[in-house]
Amino acid sequence: MASKPILAGYRIIDFTQYLAGPSATRLMAEMGADIIKVEMAPFGDPSRAFPYRKNKRSAYYVQQNRGKKSLCVDLKDARSKEVIRDLIRQCDVLIENYAPGVIERLGFGWEVVRELNPKLVMCSISAFGQTGPLSHLSGFDYIAQAYAGVTSVIGEPDRPPSLPMLAIGDVTTGVHAACALGFALLDVHRTGVGQHLDISLLDCYFHHHEVNVQAYSASGGAMVPRRAGSHHYAVAPTGIFRGPEGYIMILALLHQWPVLCKAMGREDLITDERFKTNELRVANQKALIALIEDWLQSFPSDAAAIAALQAVRVPVAPILTVAQAVAHPHHRARGTVRTVSDRMLGEFDIPGMPLRFSNHPELPSLQAPLLGEHNAEILTGLLGYGAAQVAELEQGGVLVSAAH
């Protein structure tokens, strides 16, 4: 018999929108949590309008919100606030990613919700956090990235900084939030008391600095992180090399450098004064890159060069396009790419569930909600409202729904 999903029995009231917050509750929905997504009337989560769209349905929204229930309410109406208060009393978690101060102005700040439900864990996601000189500012992924010193090191050294074409900060902030919620729910189990979690894009982005911060600080500013284009400024050889057909990623770190030299048939480079240490290899990186790229050109194809390096366990990879990554058999076999079926969009591919549990190997088949699809179900089934009460709220514009 299949065991219950790992988060079965946990109910989450989800005030999140766009990407960072929905990324957290997306993971929790996959693990069986009951996610009640509160959407602001009349349009709901703004990401419902994001491309790609078909039949007024957004693939972006569907990807982030599968398995959630939609409660669409006019939060300016006092009657909706009573609905939310009733719901908070029935939930284990409240998560929101409004700008700091918004949830308080709506009447659901931490001091209020902890009185309604002392065991509730509240998670607030924002660009800069709930405290500090920047906390009053609004922001999205790229804004936090810029403040974290990350954008400054992306791109060519003689060109302006560049943007990565994916929302690294939003998604990893959502993952950090989901992780923190798991810890906090464990703490509730131990203590019987909830708490408020403050998760910021800036903090999560800054946490990605595996080299830059400590190297700059410990060296007294002598080691300055900088844009270095296709190759790492601090470790060599590490970067993107021109192959016989396209580009190849190679990371020959420390002990792997002699292995690469032997694979190239150039054991003399191991003792070459220009390349004896990592620091020397960085200082002489232009010559080093030329040597490696000249060797790569001796192969009939990128695949042949990659196979030669894989045979001696030098970390190497082709630079795949998104289309190539989606079609790759490894990604398909592991579910890294997942084909889902939406009632309005049909079948399409999304990034799969990145967490795998041996006791819960099967993932549920989930649908993203239509706007306000579960209004009546939540109010009658969970909160005990009568059909007449629900009809009155619908007629009064407190509850809103739409077929997309």
Give the span between the Cα atoms of 190 and 186, in whole angstroms. Answer: 6
Cβ contact 374:73 at 8 Å: no
Look at residue 287 and give its three-state secondary structure: helix
Token digits for 68?
């959630």
Look at residue 190 and give its three-state secondary structure: helix
Give the span between the Cα atoms of 331 and 336, in whole angstroms. Answer: 5
Q: What is the phi/psi pair of residue 373, to 5°?
A: -60, -30
Give the burial class of 385: count Cβ atoms within 10 A of its Cβ; 0-12 exposed, 13-18 middle, 19 or more buried: middle
Token digits for 175?
């993952």
Cβ contact 250:309 at 8 Å: yes
In 3D, which of 266, 247, 246 has the Cα closest to residue 257? 266
Residue 82: enclosing H or E segment and its boundaries?
helix 78-88
Cβ contact 270:261 at 8 Å: yes
- Residue 170 annotated among the catalytic residues of the structure: yes
Q: Helix 168-191 and helix 20-30: axis angle, to 10°? A: 60
Query: What is the separation of C-alpha 187 from the centre of its chain, rounded to a whole number of angstroms?
Result: 24
For tokens 């810890």, the residue is 183
Give the span between the Cα atoms of 281 and 269, in whole angstroms. Answer: 11
Give the span between the Cα atoms of 233 and 224, in whole angstroms. Answer: 9
For tokens 């390096």, the residue is 309
Would you call the peptide bond into 160 cis, given omega within 30 degrees of 0 as the criterion? no
Of the candidates 45, 92, 170, 302, the residue annotated as catalytic is: 170
Dmax over CA atoms of the chain, in Å, equals 85
The catalytic residues are 170
